[in-house]
Structure 1
Amino acid sequence: MNPYTKDELLLITKSVMKILDNWELNSFQIISILGLPDKTPKRNINKYRNNLSFPYEKEIFERLEHIIGISDALRTTFPRNQHMASGWLKTEHRRFNNKAPIEVIIHEGLNGLRKIRSELDCTFAWDTTTG
């Protein structure tokens, strides 16, 4: 059951698209990160920016929650420069086997989102280990 109104879904969609655009991702990366079907038309990405809301599916909304959580953690980590967040996501890190966090997210899907969020957000990491 969908707990959101049409307007709320559209607001969530636009907010997440703004985050993904700030991360400087291409359409294929966005489709992958959101867990949308591979055959999703690229033109839908522009529609999501404007007047089409994401389909309400449990896994997609779990991904959205993690995207928002990662964005919040990056904003706390780099409060004066949002471009640093995009740079961090695209820089290889030894904690991720010398892969960039965005690569981990794209290749590992939902588990990758959880892994990157756990790295950035200690309260999320704590909740996952104590819950």
Structure 2
Amino acid sequence: MELNPITKTEFGAEKTREILAQTFFNLTQKWQLKREEEAQLLGWNYKEKRTKLESMRKGATVLDNDRDKLERIIDLINIHKSLRILFPNNLSAVYEWVKVKRERFGGYSALDVMLEDGKEGIHAIRCYLDHERTR
């Protein structure tokens, strides 16, 4: 069976963006993030984008077809996926992992790295977890 790659049209389709945004907010709720942290993960300044963020949370506004935002959310979803694989029987570990300070990250948490380094930090955490689950 051959799998067809997702086309750019499908990737940026409105329904896909709705689902990605809702998944993002579900995940950040499980991680118990502040609104400011949510905005920062998306590369936004909370004060400037607060209204848009709240509108997206309610489903009243669709996430823009912005490759940067979509890639950030997809990496965050993949971080969650890796954590579910690494901790299949421990949901509290899955949801608390991002906030635990780790020597591996210089005494910072994965969340600290993602907030400080933005898209590159999110991607670095994703790559780290991808590696961990394939060891």
Q: 1:113 aligns with which of 118, 122, 134?
A: 122
Report if aligned partners of 2:20, 2:70 keep a CA contact under 8 Å in 1. Answer: no
Contact 2:20 2:74 in 1 (8 A): no
Structure 2 match to 1:129: none
Q: Show CA shifts across 1:14-44 (max 9, x none).
A: 1121111111101000000011244111x44
The answer to which of 114-123 and 51-60 deviates more is 114-123
Q: Aligned partners of 1:35 and 1:86: how far apart in 2?
A: 22
Question: Of 25, 39, 49, which residue of structure 2 is paired with 1:40?
Answer: 49
Per-residue CA deviation, residues 32-64 of structure 1 (Å, 9 max, x unaligned), is 0011244111x4433222312221111111101
Q: What percentage of aligned pairs have identical amino acids? A: 20
User: In the alignment, which residue of structure 1 is the partner of 2:18?
Assistant: 10
1:58 maps to a residue whose letter is R
Counterparts in 2 of 1:71-90, with a 5 A limit?
A: 71-90=80-99
Q: Secondary structure at the match of 1:121?
A: helix
Question: For structure 1, which runs of at least 5 residues remain unmatched after alignment?
Answer: 126-131
Q: Tell me whether 1:64 sits opposite 2:73 in the alignment.
A: yes
Q: Does 1:26 align with 2:34?
A: yes
Q: Cα RMSD between the aligned structures?
A: 2.1
Larger radius of gyration: 2
In structure 2, relative to structure 1, the CA distance for the partners of 1:85 and 1:124 (3 Å cut) is closer
Paired residue secondary structure (2:79): helix
Structure 2: distance between partners of 1:68 and 1:107: 19
How has the CA–CA distance of structure 1 residues 124 and 56 changed in structure 2, closer, same or farther, with 3 Å as cutoff?
farther
**1:112 aligned partner, one-letter code:** G
TM-score by length of 1: 0.82
The equivalent residue for 2:4 is none
